[in-house]
Chains A and B, each alone.
Chain A
Amino acid sequence: MTIHLTAADYGAVLPIMIVLGGALCLLLTDAFVKVHETEIATGISLATLLLAFAASAHLWAVNAGPAFPQGAGAMITGDRFGQFFNFALLLSSALAILIAPPYIRTSHFDAGEFLSLILFATAGMMLMAASLNLMVIFLSIELLSLALYILSGFDRNRPRSQEAGFKYFLLSSFASAFLIYGMALIYGATGSTNLIRIVNVLGGHAGTVASTHTVLSSPFVLIGIALMAVGFAFKLSIVPFHMWTPDVYQGAPTPVTAFMSVATKAAVFPAFLRVFNLALGAESHRWFGILWALAIVTMIVGNVLALSQSSMKRLLAYSGIAHAGYVLVAMSANNRLGATAVAFYFIVYAFMNIGAFALVLVLESRGEAGDEIATYRGLFARSPLLAVATGVFMFSLAGFPPTAGFFAKYYAFAAAVQAGHTELAIIGVITSVISLGYYLRVVVLMFMQPVEAGAEQVRAGPLSDFMLTASVAGLFVVGLVPWFYNLAVQAVQSFFHFTT
């Protein structure tokens, strides 16, 4: 097969190329610039992300039509669905970079290296969100994982960080093996790694009914589905493949944790959706049971285990597991509203989860034990902005209106009920009640406990202040203004375009 690259093909990869270019540029400047290193590197990476955002928005505007844009020999696509997740990825990357500089300085990191690795990971994630081919999915998952392995162990003088990097590396490679084995089996059964061809083979567009039936009953397909589900579930820290999450989240440098807690999921879920809801969408009865069980177990285990944590990063790790469960509920609904809910969820999740890590980060940058929840006593008196913002993030994570966290959860569970799975919604809301137990504990400590005598005021710094204010504002605006939801609806229209 010869590949003819057209302008449209380059257009589809433009945002990704920009981020990669920015990362390389960062590495170069790092070699020459020695003064104000952190400031310059932060500036370059933020500018890169902004540029990529503009390119992504341009692609969104260009690809409005019904035609399904495919780039680079149908390997990747510049469709709106991918662009929407690009927005979420660029947003979470930018939010994490905004709060990182004080931490980089106190930990004596090499800013250029650190931030360029974050950009490399972002590029891998964007590639994953755009991929239309099982091979590209695998390549991009490796690209983002390699960067994240290094980032997790970046604080190499701290044993916890080393442990995190190593643990993540070992378990993640193991899961990658599952994933690629599953892909190989699917390829063996359908004869293609291209998702659209797989749809055609499985959906009966290309073959006769008889041949479709033969393909479907093939054990390869079933085993392949199961193995790929395991691989994705590991990356998404879905129970029972979640064991690495708390350790890695706690050990990794806090900006990395903040970034990967949102961005990894925002990258893997679109690929997960493309493979399961799109390529295997017609066969949902074969995989629905798996996802149904995973979602239930994930919501319960994540929320229950979070109750007993004394470390904020571990708490947020388990909360992240629970949220992956909520998203999985939306995904397993396998309908338009469900896909919309998944897309919408990550815009919201970027604001509230990275915001929640900001508190840890600000305190740690001051040399305090910011990871210990007990140190939040009376935080409102020490830093009203930080406390109020964190309070908003907690309420949003818990799903209180009018924050966007409520809307995201609402759409996710409504999708499940619409698909006829009320039980998923019931378990979802009951575990949400459990989640109040740990979210409110943080709120109680910050607002309702007296501050210890002699505690100093906390100032977060201008960039962090900006990030916190923007995230709080974002959480109200994204939920209440229907424009954002309609954006997600449009994104999903392109996704479902060629199945209908």
Chain B
Amino acid sequence: MLTLGIAPVPGMANELGFPPLLTILLFLPATAGLLLLLLPSRPRPEGGYSWFPVKCLAQTAALATFGLSVYFLVEFHLGNLGRSSHWAIQFPEHGTWLPSLGISYFLGVDGLNVWLVPLCTGVMAVAIFAACLMINRRAKAFLALMLIAETGMLGVFLSWNLFLFYVFWELMLVPAYFLVGVWGEGRRIQATTKFVIYTIFGSFIMLVAIFYLYATTPGHNLDFPALLAHPPSTSAQTWLFLAFLLALGIKAALFPFHSWAPDTYVEAPVPATVLIASVMGKTATFAIVRFALPLFPHAANQFSGLLSILAILGILYGATMALVQIDIKRVLAYSSISHMNLILLGIFALNQQGLDGSILQMVNHGVIMAGLFIMVAIVYARSGTRRLDEMSGLAKAFPVMGGFLLLLFLAAMDLPGLGSFAGEFTILVGVFLSNAWFATIAALVTILAAWYMVRWFQGIVHGPVGEQAPEPTADASDEAWTVYEFPVRRQRLTKDLRWIEMAMIVPLAAVVIWLGVIPKPFTDRTAPTVAAVAGVLRSGAHGSGSAAGTVALQPKRMKLVVQVDNGVDSSQPSQQMPCIWLPNLAKTKPSLPGRLTKRITTRLTHQMTHGSCQ
């Protein structure tokens, strides 16, 4: 019997807790971003502005956010309390907002977002570092927008109320619009307009679905647990699911809705490309798993075949297009689309393995794509061109850069031992279990991935050391400064990878290797929740079209189960009793920083050495 740990529906009036760590995590970047705008800009005597204090503050905020997000990773409660599967919302923070409209402020962590939150904060910390190095025009506004977008994306990952989710979903779009439109390259305005119109169209349709859920759910409650307990009728599910999938599919670049993506990725400045391709795309794939699948399980099963076919077409399309591009950034843009469709394929397998692999692959893809797009900037600073036919043999002059390129290239090609292999392999296993034909085709298509990545890699680093490409002009035309501002003196770099550039790439490379070698701490955290989602989906396939039969939800006010960390319940919940985890932080433990370091060292080393946490 599947039992889901569900937060109480009307209870928990104002359980923000103290300190409200998730709230702090969520609003830290945006607050820092707004503070940045208040800092005065100091003009430099030789022209331009000195952005050093601004950049320091932005980087500090990004790193602090990342540090705080790691705390949740470490403190995340593992295990499943002796139940078959269990979907607990940990670190819940629930505040009333507009109860009559079902709108509440509800944050929490579960197995789906526990890794995506640090992915977001970590990649954003790197992206902001890249921005500090690369952006010198209106740097203050750029960094502020990056930080505000980070809050938007974190909000999407952390929200458990559909309205709150939607607010953050739109909130992250506005900064991205300006990041591409103001700091982008040649066709930036067309790209950013297309990006916004595409995504907002889908989002507004999703908004109508949210209205519908509001109007039809008993008690007008948009909290996720309440929605899960009252699934819509099977006929309504069809339309609601399609409305959600339209919005989320557009943002995730699902095949027929992908056409905004390559332009936006290419025209955006590199830090913004990292933001959009690495993190913002994941918000959509994540939201499919969080909201669209469990809330509409019947429709999900109904459409999984069709959506899988679209995803396979997307993999094929992205790979084929990547194969024929000349611009190294555009190759990556299409490869990103291809990989995103693979993640979607894993999701649409609707089983444990597929979902597990997809979530792992979301993290991998985010990290690898961030690394690759930053490498594009680094390569460009040295080659002076982004065209594959104009550059060759860079490895001779820049061996260290070539080494890092090789590592990321291998990761993108799913070399066993690197993170993406584990992810894609699990995805394919999941797809195989649901439909062997799809899995076979998808596996064959991944050969194309190897092909275009090899072409990309060889084009950059191998070959004869050709005649040097022309110097980038340092003229004052509008577009010239936007092309790449990495070296402040607009000339080609002649030195190999500098340490400051390595600081961007090394952490990403380390994560790629770590996830490939030791994926256990990863799956330990995701597996119970993924099992719960898969359970809801199974029941949607066979049951009456709803998960209501299996979700035991008591209508009256729920009791909170306080879980002490030694694993003994203060009140053992019955099998039927939905519960919510509240790791009792403040009362039983010493100061937070001391505990944090102890936890990180003990738990992670323990997991790495023993491969288990209990």
- Which A residues lie at the B interface, using CB under 8 A? 337, 395, 400-402, 406, 410-411, 413-414, 416-418, 420, 422, 425-426, 429-430, 432-433, 436-437, 440, 444, 447-448, 450, 482, 485-486, 489
Contacts and interface: CB of A to CB of B under 8 A. Distances in A.
B447 interface: no
Contacts of A413: 207-208, 211
A482 B97 contact: yes
Contacts of A450: 478
Contact of B207 (A402, A410, A486): A410
A125 B387 CA distance: 65
Contact of A395 (B174, B189, B192, B201): B174
Contact of A447 (B98, B171, B173, B178): B178
Contacts of B212: 417, 422
A414 B214 contact: yes
A447 B181 contact: yes
Interface string B169-202: 0110110001001100000110011001100110
A422 B204 contact: no
B76 interface: no
Contacts of B189: 444, 448
A322 to B, nearest CB: 14
A433 B100 contact: no
A432 B101 contact: no
A400 B215 contact: no
Given A337-B101, A400-B173, 11 more contacts: A400-B170, A401-B167, A401-B171, A417-B214, A418-B211, A422-B211, A429-B205, A448-B181, A448-B188, A448-B189, A486-B98
Given A395-B174, A440-B196, A444-B181, A422 B208 contact: yes
Contacts of B167: 401-402, 406
Contact of A417 (B97, B173, B211): B211
Contacts of A416: 211
A406 B188 CA distance: 26
Given A402-B171, A433-B197, A448-B181, A417 B215 contact: yes
A430 to B, nearest CB: 7
B193 A440 contact: yes
A417 B211 CA distance: 6
Contact of B204 (A395, A430, A486): A430
17 contacts: A400-B173, A400-B174, A413-B207, A413-B208, A417-B214, A418-B211, A418-B215, A422-B211, A426-B205, A430-B201, A430-B204, A433-B197, A433-B200, A433-B204, A436-B197, A440-B196, A448-B182
Contact of A436 (B100, B178, B200, B211): B200
A418 B214 contact: yes
Given A448-B189, A485-B98, A432 B204 contact: yes
Contacts of A420: 215
B217 to A, nearest CB: 11
Contacts of A400: 170, 173-174
B166 A414 contact: no
Interface of A is mostly: helix
The 6 A-B pairs with the shortest beta carbon distances in the complex, nearest first, are A429-B204, A417-B211, A401-B167, A418-B215, A448-B181, A401-B170
A436 B174 CA distance: 12
Contacts, number: 76
A420 B214 CA distance: 12
B104 to A, nearest CB: 10
A69 B422 CA distance: 71
A418 B216 CA distance: 8
Nearest to B99: A482
Most buried by A among B100, B188, B193, B204: B204
Contacts of B174: 395, 400
A67 to B, nearest CB: 24
Nearest to A395: B174
A378 to B, nearest CB: 11
A448 B207 CA distance: 29
B102 to A, nearest CB: 10
Most buried by A among B166, B196, B478: B196
A402 B196 CA distance: 16
B98 A482 contact: yes
B215 A436 contact: no
B318 to A, nearest CB: 26
Most buried by B among A401, A418, A444: A401
Contacts of A447: 178, 181-182
A80 B157 CA distance: 40
Contacts of A406: 167, 170
Contacts of A337: 101
A401 B166 contact: yes
Contacts of B170: 400-401, 406
Interface string B207-236: 110011011000000000000000000000
A476 B178 CA distance: 19
A444 B193 contact: yes
A429 B207 contact: yes
B34 to A, nearest CB: 11
A341 to B, nearest CB: 10
Nearest to B138: A380
Contacts of B200: 433, 436
Contact of B211 (A425, A437, A485, A486): A425
Contacts of B173: 400
A416 B167 CA distance: 20
Interface string B71-109: 000000000000000000000000001101100000000
A410 B170 CA distance: 13
B340 to A, nearest CB: 23
Contact of A414 (B101, B182, B192, B193): B101
A489 B98 CA distance: 11
A444 B193 CA distance: 9
B287 to A, nearest CB: 16
Contacts of A426: 205, 208
A22 B163 CA distance: 44
A444 B190 CA distance: 10
Contacts of B166: 401
Contacts of A444: 181, 189, 193
A280 to B, nearest CB: 24
Nearest to B100: A489
Contacts of B101: 337, 411, 414, 485
A401 B201 CA distance: 15
A426 B101 CA distance: 19
Contacts of B182: 447-448
